[in-house]
Structure 1
Amino acid sequence: MQTTTTIAKQIHTGDDLDFEFLKKTGIEYIEKLGSDLWTDYNAHDPGVTILEMLAYAITDLSQRINMPIQDLVATEENNLKNMHEQFLSAIHILPSKPITALDYRKLFLYIPGVKNAWIAARETQVFVNCDEHPASLSYTPFEETEITHDPFILKGLNTILLDLEDEVEEPDQVINTVKKIYHQNRNLCEDLVEVSVIETHPIAICAYIDLHPTADEEYVLALIYQAIDAYFSPTVDFYSLKQMLDKGYTTDQIFEGPTPLPEKENTPVKGGFIDSKELAAADLRREVRLSDIVQLIMKIEGVHIIKDISISNCDGSTGENQWNICITPWHKPIRCDKSTFNFTKGILPIGVNEEKVAHYQEQLQEEERAKKQEHSIEDIPFPKGTYSAPDSYTTFQNDFPDTYGISTIGLPGKATVTREAKANQLKAYLLFFDQVLANYFKHLSKAKALLSIDDTLKAMYLDAAIFSEEEKVAAKQMYFSQPVTDLADRDSILQTPATYEQELIAIMGDVKGVGTGEEVFYKKRNELLDHLLSRFAERFSEYTFLMKMLYGDNTVSNDEILSAKLHFLQDYEVLSRERGVGSNYCCPEVSTTDTGIWDTVNVSGVQKRIARLLGIKDYSRRDLTTAFLEVYEEKDTDDLKEYRWRIKNDTGVLLSSSKHYHHLNQAYEELFLAYYLAQQQENFEFKKTAGGDKTYFNLINPEVTDSTDEDRIVARRIAFTETKEASIEARDALIELIKEISVDEGMYMIEHILLRPDRYHLDQFETEESLAPDAPATLFMPVCIDADCTACSPIDPYSYRVTILFPGWTRRFRNKDFRQFAEQLIREELPAHVMAKICWIGQPAKLVADEANDMLNIQERYKAFLEAISCTNTITAKKDIENYRSTLNDLITQINTVHTIYQSGRLHDCDNEETETKGNKIVLGRTNIGNL
């Protein structure tokens, strides 16, 4: 029998709350340590009394640890607001963007005016001609004489069909809203072709019905109309949160799928929640059964018997049989004006007043509207917790028997000096235990800070050596202490009472036997962040290992690791909800300052998630080849090619290399090292000029301690000042400028389905005839197929494919191990049906000619393409079609010509040990040239 390993939910033994267990364990420990000197463990022994007091204090601490988490993290003021800032409530973490067709239907039903909605695949054929090389594609069939491959159908194209409410007066306005909502929630590698009001399939119903003598025939007919209409086109109700809970749904089931956040929606939405089972049942009918209609009519009060009934299409046909009618696909059945209902009461025929029937119908509709109460989209009530001041601590010395003379009562007035000295010695000895307990209580009260994703939590203590005075003001610590305040005559046993608190910080700021305060901070902070990540089933273990392998276990790599985890958790609401969503290319306005085309965070959800998992700080779509970081060539007197670098902004050069480099790799490494070092004050060294009348500073590498080593000075800036204070100001200003410069790490994710050619004809605006698409073969992406129509699989270059482009020259992206990790992560994070082509391309600005810089050319053409496909650009003339095709062709051509760049390396010479550690070592069989 196979056994499985599980983690028990309840692992707390409760021993820390058991006074007798703590006392017994303490005595057992004392026996092991001092049984040769101490053999009396009875209650009268002072040592046992001390042990009992400590055990009692520990049970108090344990009781507070076991308080409900909402009580531990509660605050004295603005408790509910602070709780929502620290934790994600149900409506913010459980819903997701739509994935399935049912999800999209639910999303559209929240739009006012939409009664029901469906989303269907739009089949678009693409024909393949192998008679040419490379093979050509077309929307229209090729000649029979040409060698052709079976056509393929583009996948991921959708059509939305709407059933609108009766009171909708402007269908186009609702349709435009649906388009907007779709593009805000568009799945990756999918696109919308059309939104339309659903077409109808008229059905004629003829019936002879006998009524009870007391029945109101007009009211009965109105009820029949209502029942049949609901059968043909069922409505979907909205429910309150309580109603959904009463139905037996759990919280995760209620918030499954898309649930609009009213405060974040730019358009009005209906309130309440949708029952997914009812929505699935409210699908389009594929057939109308006569037996169903009979049952509906017979359930109506007043109907005695149906004498005769039949159904047919309004054109008179009944289909294959008279018992059911098949409905045209993606059509909604309706009653047509040929339907007739005749009534009798016994043997007497009964006439019907149509005006009275219409009056009853309006009355029934009003009753239906009244039943549909306007609900709000509610959140699960947040547990506010009760603030209980868990850090309050009173010394356990006051609980000792009075005979010890250490409580607030003190010693008798006749006590000798020797007796007072012994009492003070005991108080000083017990203060050690007091202090440890007081610190634990204080630490417990800071659970809300330790379990937060506050990136200002930066030190074990605020006086850690890694922080300047200015940074201490904004920084927060992650280990806490508090003085013991209620100890009688405390100052008499302290050597320096005035520096009591500072000495506590000094002791804990450098934890002996564990490491420096900085090391303990990184260890503890990472453990807490890993705990928060694990609650979402996320991990950064591989990323952490890789960063330490690449850059060592130092401050730079540790800061990068913490930053990656913090940014991921801070964005988790979006990263979780939008992990399968594509960018909104159609209605892209993110804000008044963000157009959604370029310099925008309007990118796909999976791109945001991949960027955060890779530690990319800026995932926005922007220029990745900038003029801020430059590597350039120059020739020395020996006519040898050398490289230098500089960091610039709009005002000029901020930092430049202190030496020249013979290898491009060395220049790259030093450039990005300088970029990171220049953001920390301690990496600048102040110097005096030879004459001693001026001050300047250099950027140094703190890892190089030898002041004579040329590698110690990384960069220079010629900025002489009269005083050191002025140089400090210049340094701080430089740091702020460097931080404003966006490093070139980023990515472009281009969805191939958006690159499909248009379906226009160049002459379609000059004739009223319907013309077939005439997109030329050069506008299609190339296919993997040979002249004999032998194809690589899959042949379709558009469906569920993306091209992901990274700048291949940056500090991390040049490393082959990081690339391998990134490519594996991308394939794990992309939806399983999406295939990615990954390239590491380009060069920094000015290193190569602009026309040879792949990244520079891609970003120019990609930006132009996004502007061209924006829904604000409408095609109304032949010139518009030509301009769009030119833009698309430029981008496709550039995508097909990019190539991955690699840093130069050397093969290891087995006879030369130096090549084992020098340069970028290449291992045969481990270096991939290109990757799909």
Structure 2
Amino acid sequence: MDTINHISKTKLPLHQDFNFLKSEAIDFIQNHIGKEWTNFNPSDPGMTILDQFCYALTELGYCTDFTIPDILTDFTGKIAIDDQFYLPYKILTTSPYTINDYRKYLIDGNENIFNVTILCYNNNIFPINRIYQVYLYINPDIVDVIESKNICKSAFYYLNKSRNLGEVFNLPIALQTQNCSIGGKIEITKKVDLYAVLLDLQSKIREFIFAKPEQLSYETLIAKGYNSAAIYDGPYLKNGWILNESLADKIDQIKAIDLIPVIESVTGIVTVSGLQLYQNEKITSVLQATVNQILSIDILGSYKSKNLTITCNGKEVAFDAFGPLIITPDKFEETTANLNNKVHLKLPKSSFRDINTYYSIQNTFPQQYNIGADKVADDSAPIQVAQSRQLKGYLTLFDQILANQFSQLANVSKLFSFTNSVCGAPSDEENFYAVKDKEQQKNLEYPVPYKMFSPSYFYQSLYTVPHIRPILKDSKTFDYSFGNETEAEQQEKSWFEYQQDPYNPYIFGMMKLIEEEDVNLDRRNKLLDHLLARHGESPKVIDAIINDTIYTGDKRKDQLILKSLYLQNLGLLTYNRQKGYNFLSASKIADNTSGNIDVSLPVIKSKHLGYISENTTDFIFRSEQINKKEKLSRPDFNNFSGLELKLNLLFGLKNIYSNFITSQFDIQQNNIENQLNTYKTIQKTFWFKEKRNGSILIETILLLNQLKYNIEIIKQNQVNITSYSLENIDFQTISNLNYVVNTTAEATLDTNLGQGYLVFSDVQFPVVTNTSEAINLTDYTKSELSNYYFRITIASGNGSITIDNSVFKKNIILVFPDFIPVLQTPEFKKRLKYFLKNSLPVNVSYECLFLSLQELETFIPNYVKWHESLRFKSDLIPVKTEQDQAAINNSAPSATTNPAETAINLINSLTSILATKNGRNK
């Protein structure tokens, strides 16, 4: 045999060393028992008891040395992961936030997007908002214009899935190819495939100009020395990770000297000489491209035109009429098998360890003690029976302590779980339900068996201890018969019923004895604080935010509920912490009636009252129910921003509204008018709770995004002032033209405006030329690179809306009803301010509005119409997939829908509210 199995004589750990444990116990006895115990020999019964207890402790010590995976593995072989740990890709990643994040996100999301350039406009007009213009380097082999446009539109949808608060994306633009060629002489070696050389050269020049970043597998990056924190820094990528250093910028200027090392790096090329550059069929010293263009050097075209000569051993290689250079995808990316991110999600190997099952020390005592399975029968030697039971009662105390320790270790997964446990004796609860059928489980004789609020100490019954029944209190409670059973059958049935009674004096007394509520709540709170800190969340900050949030009325229990809910949803909340909602595909909050948007609030019916109920049964809080109700899913972040969902969760807004509605139903109204107001109050509260998660968040950039604009550009000379204007243009165009005026050289502006247009991305926007004698330049903004001045005004609203409107001074506006007492307390407003300060990015400013019942009467309909109109972007929204088409079909606007008009109505409503608020403050 290759392996020799034998017992090695090695020193055991102290907690598994019987001799050490026994010597420690004897030392303790000698130091504390005085002169009452003098016999420490094996003949003393006390020493026998000590031996058995120490042996049992070595078993407990052995179990504590099991690996964490083994301890967390259940009898099915599955490791407890859910609500225990967040896998790295779920907790370390975050939705795109930086420019590089968005570039990775787009490259990973569409195989035909090779690279991305993103401009974040430093906007003179809207300085507190981010406006992104995205340029896509689409696979050069795609020449179909329609397909290219569809890729841009698909990217627009994809970007808005991860749009951050206070940000908007203009429709992405495909980089336009700027065709170029080269001339000169290239010397190649013998026995090389000319086509392969040209193919490799074309590929390397493309990579030099704007390379498609390499996507690497997790294992590859680990092998390169990257740790998990570095790998997962950024958005989760489905097809492999992209390093920041691989995101090279697009090269817009190339000199001949820049290409020489690129050409010479191609296998088979010896030298290059006399290199010349051609652009627009003219020789140039520098190849140049604008921000919306990409240089494309056609190697085969250069060779065909004979500007590029290829020689071998001094002889020119003749041109063969082969087709275009086809660059296969594997030149740019790894195979899917190498890039999938599943391999590193393998959990550690583990084995189920039956830690909870307890073997009583009474089974191992010598036979003469009469306490084992073969003890003296109850009907003989009553004195010996009494002595045996007395000893069993004494030993059962030790058994219970040991059994509970094993149970505590077996339930470590529940102790450190994000969810609050609901039972202190899981094994007994499992045994209770194991013998119940479905009907019995629905109509239990005991409504909350073994239930308690968030235990942190676990225990188990000792029904398996030999002949334990006679020493358990009231163990004969079920000793009755209907006369059709034998005595043995009746005794078996009685004992079974006693064990199935979760309120029998033994197990119920154990439940009350094991934990004192004050100790339990403090201990569980510390455990949750540890879990929060382990995930980078400050327990003190969370305590300050949830200070007055009420679920049970007991402050400490409410802390446990809220911290547990936050931890359960932490993965999605932290990933989407900065994200706004996806206005292009968010669910509707209004119905369509006869082709018009129905903005009427829901009628409160009796079926709705099922939501308005306590989360308790028999005075025990139902943690499972609240966990299910507050569980967040990915679609929630499509309909709401991460901020709104976190606000609702930590402040318990839905619960506040439910309690308020309940209190309103209890109010006795004296007249019909008061009853009507009460109903309207309940109706709006219910709408806030069901449709908006307790608050309304409006991003002012989205209001601006729907309006039309005018731009006026002037240049002053000695005689008069010439102005150029464009009117009634959309937000995307105005933001791009604002960029053009700010970043274009004066000479270029002179030429373009002189010819009657502005140019952006090769598109000419015609301008109207006017002349006037005097203009107040203080009303205009000076261009950054020229002596031109410009002014942007809002065309929508007939001049009633201006860019410096009070509504646009903040990035987001949060709206709450003011008739709910809890929301009007100084404590709530202080916590809200602290929450927003800690949750919002520094570049996002906010305004909180508390609206009266009368203000909400007009505000809510305006908001609903505006919210629905955000989806009606038929001129911009793409149709790429069946899902996209379905989204557009489902949100088709009626003939009366005007997105700009809905924005104007909401802006006017907010302006009036802000004016009233400022007036009250004065």
Task: Give how far 1:395 is off.
Answer: 0.8
Q: Does 1:888 align with 2:836?
A: no
The one-letter amino acid of 1:349's match is: E
CA 1:34–1:812 in 2, change beyond 3 Å: closer, same or farther? farther
Alignment of 1:98-497 (within 5 A): 98-109=96-107, 110-126=109-125, 153=127, 155-165=129-139, 166-167=141-142, 169=144, 170-260=147-237, 272-277=239-244, 279-281=246-248, 283-314=249-280, 316=282, 318=284, 322=285, 325=287, 327-335=289-297, 337=301, 340-353=307-320, 355-356=321-322, 358=323, 361-362=325-326, 365=328, 368=331, 372-373=335-336, 375-378=339-342, 380-383=345-348, 385-408=350-373, 410=375, 418=383, 421-454=386-419, 457=422, 471-472=447-448, 478=455, 480-494=458-472, 496-497=474-475
CA 1:54–1:158 in 2, change beyond 3 Å: closer, same or farther? same
The separation in 2 between residues aligned to 1:290 and 1:799, in whole angstroms, is 50
Answer yes or no: is the 8 Å Cα contact 2:56–2:361 preserved in 1: yes
The root-mean-square deviation of aligned C-alpha atoms, in Å, is 4.9
**Secondary structure, in 3 states, of the residue corresponding to 1:238?**
coil
Per the alignment, residue 504 of structure 1 pairs with: 506
Task: Give how far 1:830 is off.
Answer: 0.7
Deviation digits for residues 483-510 of structure 1 (CA, Å, limit 9, x no counterpart): 3345333335445434467223222232
Per the alignment, residue 51 of structure 2 pairs with: 52
The separation in 1 between residues aligned to 2:398 and 2:584, in whole angstroms, is 66
The one-letter amino acid of 2:847's match is: K
Per the alignment, residue 612 of structure 1 pairs with: 649
Task: Give how far 1:585 is off.
Answer: 1.0
The separation in 1 between residues aligned to 2:258 and 2:545, in whole angstroms, is 65
The one-letter amino acid of 1:191's match is: V
CA 1:234–1:558 in 2, change beyond 3 Å: closer, same or farther? same
The separation in 2 between residues aligned to 1:559 and 1:647, in whole angstroms, is 32
The one-letter amino acid of 1:892's match is: I
Deviation digits for residues 843-866 of structure 1 (CA, Å, limit 9, x no counterpart): 4x5xxxxxxx23443332222222
The separation in 2 between residues aligned to 1:428 and 1:87, in whole angstroms, is 42
CA 1:875–1:288 in 2, change beyond 3 Å: closer, same or farther? closer
Answer yes or no: is the 8 Å Cα contact 1:154–1:798 preserved in 2: no
Task: Give how far 1:234 is off.
Answer: 1.5
The one-letter amino acid of 1:288's match is: I
The separation in 1 between residues aligned to 2:803 and 2:662, in whole angstroms, is 32
Answer yes or no: is the 8 Å Cα contact 1:762–1:881 preserved in 2: no
CA 1:343–1:856 in 2, change beyond 3 Å: closer, same or farther? same
The one-letter amino acid of 1:295's match is: P
Answer yes or no: is the 8 Å Cα contact 2:544–2:831 preserved in 1: no
Answer yes or no: is the 8 Å Cα contact 2:389–2:471 preserved in 1: yes
Alignment of 1:536-551 (within 5 A): 536-539=535-538, 541=540, 544=543
Per the alignment, residue 861 of structure 1 pairs with: 862
**Secondary structure, in 3 states, of the residue corresponding to 1:813?**
helix
CA 1:875–1:300 in 2, change beyond 3 Å: closer, same or farther? closer
**Secondary structure, in 3 states, of the residue corresponding to 2:282?**
coil
Higher helix share: 2
Task: Give how far 1:385 is off.
Answer: 3.0
The one-letter amino acid of 1:23's match is: K
Per the alignment, residue 748 of structure 1 pairs with: 696
Task: Give how far 1:437 is off.
Answer: 1.6
Task: Give how far 1:210 is off.
Answer: 2.8
Answer yes or no: is the 8 Å Cα contact 1:630–1:645 preserved in 2: no
Q: Does 1:758 align with 2:708?
A: yes
The one-letter amino acid of 1:585's match is: F
The separation in 2 between residues aligned to 1:376 and 1:592, in whole angstroms, is 41
Per the alignment, residue 719 of structure 1 pairs with: none
Same amino acid, percent of matched pairs: 20
Q: Does 1:837 align with 2:847?
A: yes
**Secondary structure, in 3 states, of the residue corresponding to 1:898?**
helix
Greater mean deviation of Cα atoms: 220-229 or 13-22: 13-22
Task: Give how far 1:802 is off.
Answer: 1.7
Answer yes or no: is the 8 Å Cα contact 1:207–1:342 preserved in 2: yes
The separation in 1 between residues aligned to 2:555 and 2:60, in whole angstroms, is 37
Task: Give how far 1:803 is off.
Answer: 1.8
Deviation digits for residues 496-547 of structure 1 (CA, Å, limit 9, x no counterpart): 43446722322223238x645xx56644544443343333233555665787
Alignment of 1:4-153 (within 5 A): 16-31=15-30, 33-41=32-40, 44-77=43-76, 79=78, 83-84=81-82, 87-109=85-107, 110-126=109-125, 153=127
Greater mean deviation of Cα atoms: 542-551 or 561-570: 542-551
Q: Does 1:574 align with 2:572?
A: yes
The separation in 1 between residues aligned to 2:587 and 2:467, in whole angstroms, is 67
The separation in 2 between residues aligned to 1:418 and 1:627, in whole angstroms, is 65
Answer yes or no: is the 8 Å Cα contact 1:402–1:410 preserved in 2: yes
Task: Give how far 1:633 is off.
Answer: 10
- Name stretches of at least 5 consecutive residues in structure 1 with no aligned partner: 1-12, 127-151, 261-270, 655-670, 673-737, 785-796, 846-852, 903-928
**Secondary structure, in 3 states, of the residue corresponding to 1:778?**
coil
Alignment of 1:764-843 (within 5 A): 770=766, 775-776=794-795, 777-782=799-804, 798=808, 801-839=811-849, 841-843=850-852
**Secondary structure, in 3 states, of the residue corresponding to 2:709?**
coil
Alignment of 1:889-928 (within 5 A): 889-898=904-913
Deviation digits for residues 258-292 of structure 1 (CA, Å, limit 9, x no counterpart): 225xxxxxxxxxx53033145323x2114324334
Task: Give how far 1:316 is off.
Answer: 3.4
Deviation digits for residues 423-448 of structure 1 (CA, Å, limit 9, x no counterpart): 43222201111122223323433333
CA 1:398–1:549 in 2, change beyond 3 Å: closer, same or farther? same
The two structures have a TM-score, normalised by structure 2, of 0.68
Per the alignment, residue 664 of structure 1 pairs with: none
The separation in 1 between residues aligned to 2:563 and 2:915, in whole angstroms, is 29
The separation in 2 between residues aligned to 1:418 and 1:882, in whole angstroms, is 95
Per the alignment, residue 887 of structure 2 pairs with: none
CA 1:642–1:231 in 2, change beyond 3 Å: closer, same or farther? closer
The one-letter amino acid of 1:368's match is: K
**Secondary structure, in 3 states, of the residue corresponding to 1:334?**
strand
Deviation digits for residues 575-623 of structure 1 (CA, Å, limit 9, x no counterpart): 011001011112324999999x99994111122223323233479xx99
Task: Give how far 1:739 is off.
Answer: 14
**Secondary structure, in 3 states, of the residue corresponding to 2:171?**
strand
Task: Give how far 1:16 is off.
Answer: 4.3
**Secondary structure, in 3 states, of the residue corresponding to 2:22?**
helix
Per the alignment, residue 640 of structure 2 pairs with: 603
Answer yes or no: is the 8 Å Cα contact 1:286–1:328 preserved in 2: yes
The one-letter amino acid of 1:838's match is: C
CA 1:775–1:613 in 2, change beyond 3 Å: closer, same or farther? same
